[in-house]
Amino acid sequence: MSSSKFRDLSTGTKSLIIIEQILFVAALLLAVHLNGEYQIVDFIVVSDSYLIFYAVIFALLNQLSALALGLYNSKLRESFRGIFRRMLMCVSVGFCATTIINPLYGPYHLPIELLAIASSLSVFLVSTSRYFTFKIDFFGFGKRNILVLGSGQRASIIERRMRRDVDRQDFSVHGFVIMKGDSPDGIQRETKINLSESLVEYTLAHDIDEIVVANDERRNNLPVDELFACKIRGIEIIDILDFIERETGQIAVNLIYPSWVIYSNGFASNNYLRNTLDWIFNAGMALVLLLLTWPVMLITMLCMKITEGFNAPVFYKQERVGLDGEPFNIIKFRSMHLDAEKHGAQMASENDNRITKVGQFLRKYRIDELPQIWNVLHGNMGFVGPRPERPQFVQSLIKNVPYYNERHNVKPGLTGWAQLKYPYGATEADSLEKLKYDLYYIKHRSFLLDILILIRTVEIVLFGKGR
């Protein structure tokens, strides 16, 4: 899911969430019914209203687990076998969570055997549903038919960056209208339209649901009256920047113009209640994470000492740029050789030969980031935010990448939207791509988005997709 808001999801994704919630509820109710028929285990029978309440809680816990494992990501690239494996893990986590809260029901708690039966039925029902919805292209249901106003450089980002079917699950492109002032080397392969009739007549005749304004030259060149007429007839009008933001979860930095930033919603940082509670939330999460991961950190230190010698340092300090451009020292498990920067500072790449064998494992599962719990407790970082960069790189990036300094308006984090969406960046171009996601996070920053990012980070850690 590229958006964090339920109302912004496609009809197909919304329907999938609702259908699976019904199936999870049905699984628990069916398990109770089968137990009544065959007397598998003895338990105190509860009223129907309590039973439905238990079933809804069971469904929500399983769906939260499914979200963490990426099963509601509309662009998940997995075979059905891969989805089934995720579903097994999802229901296993849901079963564990249900058994933890089960004693809270008091004398009317459900037997663990019954919950196990309900979990098994959930795997069968939801997996069967998933199989048939993918077979009939369920996500294609409710696609928007869009017309792009423009065929130049601005419009070509749709052709270049959203060319695969998985990128267009929520919409289909009818065509690109040629506009005066458009660059001739824009759209190359897709349908270009030279309108010989009014825009209103054309959109109504071809059942257009949405018009994306993406022409290169806008001054005195937009058919404002016709766009107004389309709008009052129920056709959505959207700017190319907002369209890319909605569909990809990033902000196209190279297309930004100042008035868009001024008039767009978001980018607010003066949320005093959030700022007051921010450290309490992050410190609490850090302490919980420390309690859960100290054995992993202890094993990591032993492995590093064994493989590199007992005199080799375990931790690595490095200066980074934080909130408002203030420098601070980040603490990590050392994942590179001691002489990694003998030729000067350089960005890490995905297959960097400076990374040790233990370091490769640490990076893959994000274990090298665990010592940054200290930075969170100290207040230099939060759990979610843009990843902090080194001062040597920041100075260059601010000069060469537009709006790069805006990422320092929020506290840096252990994980972030860019880390979920983009791999390790080793070039200035990579930094530009990651900035698009960082600006999206800054614009839409909220507690719910932070929770979504933390949940999705669980998927990356569990499946070794470290970025």
Domain check: are 132 and 224 in the same one? no
pLDDT of 139 over the 60 cut: no
Q: Dump pLDDT digits (tens) for 407-434.
A: 898 899 988 998 888 876 667 788 888 9
Residue 46, domain member (yes or no): yes
| pLDDT on residue 48 | 83
Q: Dump pLDDT digits (tens) for 212-246.
A: 999 998 888 889 999 999 999 989 999 999 999 98
- Please state the domain count of the chain: 3
Domain check: are 104 and 21 in the same one? yes
- Listed residue (447, 391, 454, 370) closest to 417, CA to CA: 454
- Listed residue (296, 150, 161) closest to 227, CA to CA: 150
Asked whether the whole model's pTM tops 0.75, one would answer: no
pLDDT of 46 over the 80 cut: no
| pLDDT on residue 347 | 64
Query: Tokens representing 324?
Result: 């408002």
Sign of CA dihedral 190, 194, 199, 204: negative
Domain check: are 20 and 122 in the same one? yes
- Listed residue (98, 124, 122, 96) closest to 109, CA to CA: 98
Contact status, residue 90 vs residue 58, Cβ threshold 8 Å: no
Domain boundary among 95, 120, 136: 136
Domain check: are 459 and 315 in the same one? yes
Domain boundary among 108, 136, 164: 136
| pLDDT on residue 426 | 66
Q: Dump pLDDT digits (tens) for 315-366.
A: 989 899 998 899 999 999 988 887 666 666 666 666 677 888 888 888 888 8
Domain check: are 232 and 324 in the same one? no
How far is the C-alpha of 78 from the C-alpha of 166, rounded, in Å?
Answer: 11
Domain boundary among 232, 248, 264: 248
| pLDDT on residue 16 | 84
Residue 95, domain member (yes or no): yes
How far is the C-alpha of 217 from the C-alpha of 182, rounded, in Å?
Answer: 7
Domain check: are 81 and 48 in the same one? yes
Place of tokens 């868009």: 260
Residue 347, domain member (yes or no): no
Q: For 233-260, what is the mean pLDDT?
A: 87
Residue range of the domain that includes 317: 272-338+353-463
Residue 266, domain member (yes or no): no
| pLDDT on residue 3 | 52
How far is the C-alpha of 35 from the C-alpha of 37, rounded, in Å?
Answer: 5
Domain check: are 454 and 307 in the same one? yes
Q: Dump pLDDT digits (tens) for 279-317.
A: 788 888 889 989 989 999 999 999 988 888 888 889 989
Domain check: are 120 and 153 in the same one? no
Domain check: are 290 and 228 in the same one? no
Contact status, residue 363 vs residue 466, Cβ threshold 8 Å: yes
Domain check: are 244 and 276 in the same one? no
Higher pLDDT, residue 80 or 184: 184
Contact status, residue 403 vs residue 437, Cβ threshold 8 Å: no
Domain check: are 223 and 206 in the same one? yes
Residue 321, domain member (yes or no): yes
Domain check: are 86 and 233 in the same one? no
Residue 161, domain member (yes or no): yes
Query: Tokens representing 287?
Result: 């302490």
Residue 332, domain member (yes or no): yes
Q: For 63-74, what is the mean pLDDT?
A: 84
